[in-house]
Amino acid sequence: MAYMHIGKDFVPQDVPGKVTGKIKYAEDYARDGMVYARLLTSPIPHGRVVDIDPSEALAMDGVFGILTADDVYPDGEPEGTGLKVLTNLPTLVGEPILAVAAIDEKTAETAISKIAVTFERLPFVLDPLESLVEGGPDAYNEGNSFIFRQGFATEKWSRDEVTRFQNGNEPSADGLQSWEYGDLEAAFSESAFVYETGFTTAGYPHMSMEPRSAMVYWENGKCYLHGTSQSLTAAAEGLARIVGCPIEDFVFINEATGGGFGQRARASSLPSVAIPAKLSQKINRPVMMRITREEEFTIGGARQGLQGWIKVGFKRDGTMAAMDLFIISDNGGKGGGFDANSAAGAVSVLYQTEAIRFRNSSIATNTAHRGAQRGPGENQIMAIVSPIMDKAAEELGIDRLEIRRLNAARLEM
């Protein structure tokens, strides 16, 4: 129990190893006969692999083999969004297309330069509002959004409606997701101070010190994977499934993790570690795949950027009476992220608001995939709500600290 350590000096078990440098990360392991993998990643934001000719690379000395999406998914790539081990249908720059195993990384990189890959370029989009406009490009072939447990969807607005939203006005659209409680109209009519504004928050990538490197070997039918994760138990079963190995034959070793902000908690954010596993199985050698900092930027994920409109009402005593919130969230090139919903929920829980209406459309862009990053949604919305709290305090003649105390969640006995 964590409370056992309150008020006491204690040293976490991994601290001495990290301070002295003796602890091992994934890149510190090695096996006899180990070879190195490098990735060929998509140079375009949206496209389709038409042909791969690896013959010149495979003829090189020191090259042991390549791994493609066809090797990983012999029955065809899975439908829907989400990160894949390798893909022939990239939806972002830097998405892994194939891997080469060689005697060393320099040889592997030289081999990659000799592989001829023919791409068909497809329309791409970098800003959700660009896709939201009627006639605008879509990040996916099947539409511009993906709704959890429902599938692909398309949301389009008129140019005038998008411009209104960009100028900080409430949109007339319903949004792809919504929920509400309380009497919003009555709560606003009872408010002594009402403030509305448009807002934008940036989406930015995770950047842990340790990239998603992995070393894998197979022995006596078992797969031994040295990787990185925020949780062994939460990731192991999913990783075994991605690798294609029964969980009883899958050994996941993670002695130390060099940082993690939410995108290493589940297997769905770590499919790249299956690349050396599949490659090792194919060539029957241990494989080390060291991810570069540039590659970590693209396969490591990012916080969702939000563009929105918010209207908040406060009673004369300073308590928050109502909030109306509409968000267009950047869902990236692989889908993922529930930040908008969490943003509305955070206001509901923290400020005990009497009435809330929440509307959201998660629109895909051909940028890095999105996912949980330390307080997903809560962090973005508090950067918007906090200044509004200050404005309300000034308008109502209440101390800035006091208005927060008045709206703080209370445990009722």
Three-state SS annotation for 158-211 = CHHHHHHHHCCCCCCCCCCEEEEECCHHHHHHCCCEEEEEEEEECCCECCCCCC
Evaluate whether the domain defined by 15-122+212-290 bears CATH number 3.40.50.300.
no
State both tokens at 181.
């409680």
Q: What is the pTM of this model?
A: 0.89
- Closest by CA to 107, choosing from 69, 60, 154, is 60
Say if CB 208 and CB 256 are below 8 A apart.
Answer: no
For residue 364, give the amino acid letter: A
Domain residue spans of the chain: 15-122+212-290, 145-205+302-405
Task: Report the alpha-carbon distance of residue 405 to residue 390 in Å, rounded.
Answer: 13
Question: What's the 3-state SS for 332-343?
Answer: CCCCCCCHHHHH
Please give the span between the terminal C-alpha atoms of the chain, in angstroms, as a whole number: 25
Its CATH class, for the domain covering 145-205+302-405, is: alpha beta
State both tokens at 26.
């994934």
pLDDT tens digits in sequence order for the chain, 413 residues long: 556 778 888 888 888 998 998 999 999 999 999 999 999 999 999 999 999 999 999 999 999 999 999 999 999 998 877 889 999 999 999 999 999 999 999 999 999 999 999 999 999 999 999 999 999 999 999 999 987 777 888 999 999 999 999 999 999 888 889 999 999 999 999 999 999 999 999 887 888 888 889 999 999 999 999 998 887 778 889 899 999 999 999 999 988 887 787 777 776 778 899 999 999 999 999 999 999 989 988 888 888 889 999 999 999 999 999 999 999 999 888 877 788 888 889 899 889 899 999 999 999 999 988 877 777 778 889 999 999 999 999 999 999 999 999 998 875 54
